[in-house]
A and B are shown apart, each in its own frame.
Chain A
Amino acid sequence: MEPLDLSHENGELELPSEPMHLNMGPSHPAMHGTVRIVLELSGEIITKSDVQIGYLHRGFEKMCERGTWAQVFPYVDRLNYVSPMLNNVGYALAVEKLCGLSVPDRCQWYRMILGELARISDHLTCTGAMAMELGAFTPFLWFVKAREMVWDILEEETGARLTHSFGRIGGMAFPPSRDLRALCSSALPRILEIVEEGEKMLLKNRIFLDRLEGVGPISGADAVSLGWTGPCLRASGIDYDIRKAHPYLKYDEIDFEVPIGTSGDTLDRFLVRLGEIRQSKRIIEQSLERMPSDGPICCDDPRVVLPSKDDVYTTIEATIQHFKLIMEGAKVPKGEVYSYTEAGNGELGFYLVSDGTGTPYRVRVRPPCFQVVGGLSRLIDGRLLSDIVPTFGSLNMIGGECDH
């Protein structure tokens, strides 16, 4: 018998192997949202990956070209379906920019409150789901419990838990309810308590940290050139938050901070999102204090805003105005406009082209997570197969938004 050749170090022995192809998704427990990743593996190392999206494509932009400007609101609800209110506000601001409208102060504060509530629910979903995919089921249930409190407030305000369709061109559908202050002040501290509990569970857990630290890092310059925005970009140390850089609504009058990461790895993305929940709470509390308790919620431009029901039922002018606004839609001036807001995942942009009629000529949405997911290949190539789960989870891909 020949003696064994022991001169090789362990890792040097190369076994000849064919690369293995593996389909991850579109229906896979870790691929929430439907996305498919075709992987080429060498052992457990990913040598090549091809991320394929489009499974949830519903022709959002094509549908928008058929109805009136106001009929787009239900569609934008279904873009990022964990924070629909931010989409509503983003679209309303875009059309108002085109019309040259500005909404009353009360409405601006109200939009900020509802938007920040939606942001909390977005971040709770993302961080909770990410923990669950790594086996930590309890924090997920806690975070969903907290999200339920947010949705209870939103249901009280808008009548719907998820698809509110609450934005209007030139205002909001209804003024704030009388209980809004009481609801927020009782729910917010409890939400924060739950977040802190969940955070303690996770961030003192060696296994959880080992799976996040140093996994899927990206430098700030790379993230920018990929077109990343939002928490993923800020985790890489780039201080770009539209609420601070180009304040809209009343964000310039509010005192809040923008959490920034350092290394841009998965842990940083996780921490930035948790930090933003705390900042959102601060914003809501300040806005609640400063929101006037009476006054109009919509601007008084009769060309876009529906008349009050009392008038519609009693005067012929208001009836006709109502009829024309519903049947023909508000006439939006000719032109093109790009309006951007900070949504849960980053810059949510609307590029609108109007030919002066009641129907949009083109509604282009710039979904933040489209480009974030576009950079996923770069994060996972050369890493372990199991790293896909936390990396993908931390990007918070929302199918409805990413696939249009």
Chain B
Amino acid sequence: MSQMVLERLRERFGAAILETHSDFGDDTAIVDPSAWREIATYLCNDPALEFNLPVDLCGVDYPDSWNGPSSTARTGRMEVVLHLYSIGKRHRIRMKTRVGGEAMEGAELDSLTDVWPGLNWLEREVFDMSGVTFRGHPDLRRILMYPEFEGHPLQRTYPAGKTQPLVPYRTEASAGMPIDKLEPFGEFEGMPFGRRPDPTAAGVG
């Protein structure tokens, strides 16, 4: 449908566009992570393309031997997928890139929040769920999970049934302010019985 967009990208960026395809009618460009920001800015600002609506951003994890539906050589583990739409031109594009080594080391990407402010929360979500750090993001915090959460649940290596460590009660010292509340009676107060250590087991005092 918008083959024109893919052609223009190939012409302009050459080697930074690793692969393009239009499987199932969705135009897709797989790009080099170092050119992520440059290409996105071009897609947003070029008057003939005018991708002004940031539709979606998500991470897809390929830790195993299967390298996903694309045919390019494996360059990273976490695929970051950006969907864009143009209200005026009525065309769509999907832009993908790969970041991160086998243990998600170096999973970093340039933030696009100043290109599309709507990506602010989406980048936070990808950081939260998939563990990709966005350079230059103004407020990169977890969004769906709580701050003490360990790990990134949408990585394939995160076990679905994993339980998280208990978050300790805040003390006045750790909060740095008076907490108008009774001291908890013990570390496990208020926790479900299944999460408490068994007092009859040996070695648990």
Contact = CB atoms under 8 A, between A and B. Distances in A.
Interface in B137-181: 142-146, 153-154, 156, 158, 160
Given A61-B154, A371-B118, A53 B69 contact: no
Nearest to A221: B52
B144 A227 contact: no
Interface in B58-75: 58, 60-61, 66, 68-69
Contact of A227 (B24, B55, B69, B160): B55
Contacts of A336: 23-24, 26, 28, 68-69
Given A97-B24, A227-B119, A366-B55, A351 B154 contact: no
Given A59-B153, A245-B90, A54 B66 contact: no
Nearest to A371: B118
B24 A53 contact: no
Given A54-B143, A227-B116, A338 B87 contact: no
Interface in A224-248: 224-229, 238, 240, 245-246
A270 to B, nearest CB: 23
B117 A364 contact: no
The A contact surface, by secondary structure, is mixed
A40 interface: no
Most buried by B among A53, A61, A336: A336
A399 to B, nearest CB: 11
A335 interface: yes
A62 B162 CA distance: 12
A353 B70 CA distance: 11
Given A225-B117, A229-B53, A335 B24 contact: yes
A349 interface: yes
5 contacts: A225-B118, A338-B92, A338-B94, A354-B69, A366-B58
B198 interface: no
Contacts of A238: 87
B143 A246 contact: no
B90 A349 contact: no
B102 interface: no
Given A225-B117, A245-B90, A336-B69, A351 B145 contact: no
A66 interface: yes
Contacts of B146: 54
A227 B146 CA distance: 25
A354 B160 CA distance: 19
A66 B160 contact: yes
Interface of A: 52-54, 57, 59, 61-63, 65-66, 97-98, 221, 224-229, 238, 240, 245-246, 334-338, 340, 347, 349, 351, 353-355, 361-362, 364, 366, 370-371, 374-375, 403-404
Which 7 pairs across A and B sit closest by C-beta, in order of nearness? A227-B118, A374-B121, A54-B144, A226-B118, A366-B56, A364-B58, A57-B144
A122 B40 CA distance: 35
Nearest to B124: A374
Contacts of B81: 351, 364
Interface string B74-95: 0000000101000100101010
B120 A364 contact: no
A340 B142 CA distance: 27
